[in-house]
A and B are shown apart, each in its own frame.
Chain A
Amino acid sequence: MTALQTSAPPASGRAGGRPDFKRKRTVKQRLRHDWPLLLMTAPALAQLAVFFYWPSSWNIIAFMDYSPYRGFWENPFVGFAWFERLFSDPYFVPALLNTLKFSALNLVFLFPLSIALALIMHSVVSTKVRSVFQSIVYLPYFFSWVLVVTIFVQVLGADGLASNWLLGFGGDRLDIMSDPGTFTFLAWLQWAWKDAGWGMIIFLAALASINPSLYEAAAVDGAGRWRRMWHITIPGIRPVIVLLLILHIGNILTVGFEQYQLQREAVGYQTTEVLDTFVYYRAILTSQYSFGTAAGLFKGVIGLILILVANNVAHRLGEQGIYQKS
């Protein structure tokens, strides 16, 4: 996201300081001069070519009736037939709706939680308390989903710690971990436990960059704590909020695979099926090449469109967005 901006200003800014004759050299001369740089870049580009651009071009089979047993160009083109089949598939639309549901929950309840955490953290005066707390809440971000789900099962599962306490007090076992009715909330809780703390890091950085003399001036003018937050703090972190919002919106169909796959057996596919698990269970495991590719392409294209639209809207609202028009 960064360099979308960096590519333009600093490059030209620094190139401006260089002698002009360098720009007029032929490609051959520049190659002789720059070959070490290209050599360094080559392995990464090779990786991208093989594992990003090659699979990207394979998406063409979403428009074919592909079979690996035919020569590639012998596969007939079928237009948008697979996409039509997607929307008549009894599992696809529920998976899409589930994906949107989990995504929306995260956008509406997780994102603000990170901001709230950052605001609270920022208002803590003691640096010691801050650093201890930060160390603790960042940690789960580095745990795998297997680990997070394991810990949740151990604590909140039917044989878990909470269940045991309830039994000890004469209550019933908890079965919220395998109840489809509570799964949506639990999925959110797991996500919050894992990522909300880490999510605050970028807001903390933005908060720290607000000029303290603004607060001082406002306080001298009689603005109270809440007015200062509303008129200084929130505008100060707004560009970061917008930036993350755009990224979230672009990723609205990406909620991950692991968290839902891991709990699929316990909760049932109806509640846990998201687009990625749909592709895995309904296409890859059954070798439906074109069908699965169409589902993935649908996701990729929607994500691409959303991120461009969101960024455009941000520009119209006068925000910086993730990249600038050049």
Chain B
Amino acid sequence: MTTAAVRPKLRRRSQRAAWDEEPSFVGKFVKAAFLICYAAAIVLPIWAVVATSFASEAALQQAGGNLLLIPTEVSTQAYREILGGGALTNSLLLTVLLTAGGTALSMILTIGAAYGLSRPGSLAHRPLLMLVLFTFLFGPGMYPSYLVVQKLGLLDTYWSLILPMALNAFNLIVLRSFFMNSVPAELIDAAKMDGAGEFRILFKVVLPMSKAILAVIALFYAVGYWNMYFQAVLYTPGLETQPIQVVLQRMLMSTQGMPGADIGQYQAAEAAPTAALKMAVVVCTIVPIVIMYPFIQKHFTKAIITGAIKG
């Protein structure tokens, strides 16, 4: 893309340009119908999940299934069960901690390397950058990664859910591009003239100018930790308190009646989870994402452009 092409300005005027002819009625209708159907295919299932999580047992019986669109009788029983202590509460707390700790560590690694490799002409920055970029081209494979975690003695520890995925090279490169292209070099040079060290420049000049993109990258990391499932299956199958996604999967399997499904010990004594309880867990895994999302969504495009096109 040429530099002229990079204008992160998605919004046009809410008005059709003078030269643009009005589309036909049929064209408009088809377009509107398509967009509405598409949005409904996303919104309706989510709504049904939320509605079911608040439905009482009786309302569910009446609806005759495991999902309903309008709860005839509202109950917060499922949420009281999740938050009332016990295995589900522990799992949620664990996931919150993993997400917070993991994101913090990831941001430290990413910011440090992105800035450290962004200064032109610094010692060895090019070969070091190549080391980072090579990770785009090749994957070490699942088994060797597993062996390394095993050798380090991290199997069945929570560290194995953070350390192996603490750095995402793509995020690093996006942030580095931002530091190089969107933070004026004059500001950094001026700070240097004033005798500021690199750490001071990073914290006082560069980071305050990069809040939006830092928020997006932190969101990506946080979502990655929050949604972690595969790593837990691979690295920590023996732990008693599992990340929430694993618990959700077990609950789902336990009522699907699937042969060989691992129901888990967490509710051996209890009955199979009710539909409302399952859906309440689903809601709990969605809510943090939905809360964070509007604040950060407006910066997505900018981050993506910085990463993919501008570079």
* Interfacial residues, chain A to chain B (CB-CB below 8 A): 1-7, 10-11, 14-15, 18, 22-23, 27, 30-31, 33-34, 36-45, 47-48, 50-56, 58-59, 61, 117, 120, 123-130, 133-140, 142-147, 149-151, 153-155, 157, 159-161, 163-164, 167, 193, 197, 201-202, 204-206, 208-212, 215-216, 219-220, 224-225, 239-240, 243, 250, 254, 257-258, 261-262, 265-266, 276, 279-280, 283-284, 289, 292-293, 295-297, 299-301, 303-304, 307-308, 320
User: Could you list 30 examples of A-B contacts with CB < 8 Å?
Assistant: A1-B170, A6-B311, A11-B126, A36-B199, A37-B125, A38-B123, A41-B112, A43-B108, A47-B163, A50-B163, A55-B140, A61-B144, A120-B31, A123-B23, A124-B31, A129-B35, A146-B285, A150-B249, A160-B66, A161-B48, A161-B69, A193-B41, A208-B10, A212-B17, A219-B19, A250-B137, A276-B142, A280-B233, A284-B234, A293-B141
Question: Which of chain A's residues have a CB closer than 8 A to the CB of B170?
Answer: 1
- Given A15-B120, A137-B42, A292-B142, the answer on whether A265 and B310 have CB atoms closer than 8 Å is no
Report chain A residues within 8 Å CB of B43: 136
Query: Are B173 and A1 within 8 A (Cβ)?
Result: yes
Chain A residues near B142 (CB, 8 Å)?
257, 276, 279-280, 284, 292, 296
What is the CB-to-nearest-CB distance from A225 to chain B, in angstroms, rounded to a whole number? 7
The reply to whether B135 and A40 contact each other, CB–CB distance below 8 Å, is no
CB distance from B154 to the nearest CB of A (A): 10
Q: How far is the CA of A280 from the CA of B234 in the complex (A)?
A: 8
Contact A7:B126 (CB < 8 A) given known A120-B35, A225-B23, A293-B143? yes
Residues of B within 8 A of A3 (CB): 129, 133, 173, 176-177, 311
Q: Tell me the dominant secondary structure on chain A's binding face.
A: helix
**Chain A min CB distance to B11 (Å):** 5
Query: Which B residues lie within 8 Å of A120 (CB)?
Result: 31, 34-35
Task: Judge whether B267 is part of the interface by a CB distance below 8 angstroms.
Answer: no
B138 within 8 A of A: yes
Contacts A6-B177, A142-B293 known; A154 to B49 CB distance under 8 Å? yes
At the interface, yes or no: B38 with Cβ under 8 Å from chain A?
yes
A164 to B146, CA, bound (A): 43
Q: Which of B76-84, B86-94, B298-306 interfaces with chain A?
A: B298-306
The 8 closest A-B pairs by CB, nearest first: A2-B311, A296-B141, A41-B116, A144-B227, A44-B113, A58-B144, A36-B198, A40-B116
Within 8 A of A (CB), among B240-276: 245-246, 248-249, 252-253, 256, 258-261
Inter-chain contact B119/A37, CB cutoff 8 Å: yes
**Beta-carbon nearest neighbor of B6 in chain A:** A209
Measured CA separation A267–B230 after assembly (Å): 19
A44 to chain B, nearest CB (A): 3
Chain B binding surface, main DSSP class:
helix
Q: Closest CB-CB distance, A168 to chain B, in whole Å?
A: 8
Question: Given A22-B121, A51-B164, 11 more contacts at CB 8 Å?
Answer: A14-B185, A37-B122, A51-B145, A53-B140, A55-B148, A143-B227, A146-B248, A147-B285, A208-B12, A308-B137, A320-B1
B109-A47 in contact (CB<8A): yes
- B254 → chain A closest CB, angstroms: 11
Q: Which residue of A lies closest to B66 (CB)?
A: A159
Among A55, A130, A215, A220, point to the contact of B145 (Cβ < 8 A): A55
Q: Are A216 and B17 in contact (CB under 8 A)?
A: yes
Q: Are B199 and A205 in contact (CB under 8 A)?
A: no
CB contact between A139 and one of B126, B148, B285, B293 (< 8 Å): that residue: B293
B67 touching A304 by the CB < 8 A rule?
no
B307: contacting residue among A2, A10, A125, CB under 8 A: A2
- Residue from the set B17, B48, B117, B139 with the largest chain A CB neighbour count within 10 Å: B139
A2 closest partner in B (C-beta): B311
* Residues of B close to A280: CB separation below 8 A: 142, 233-234
In the bound assembly, the distance between CA atoms of A145 and B66 in angstroms comes to: 20
A133–B198 contact, CB under 8 A? no
- With A120-B34, A127-B14 in contact, is A160–B128 under 8 Å at CB? no
Residue-wise, chain B 40-53 has the 8 Å CB interface mask toward A (1 for contact) of 01110110110010
Known contacts A205-B305, A258-B229: A54-B148 contact under CB 8 Å = yes
CB nearest to B258 among chain A residues: A265
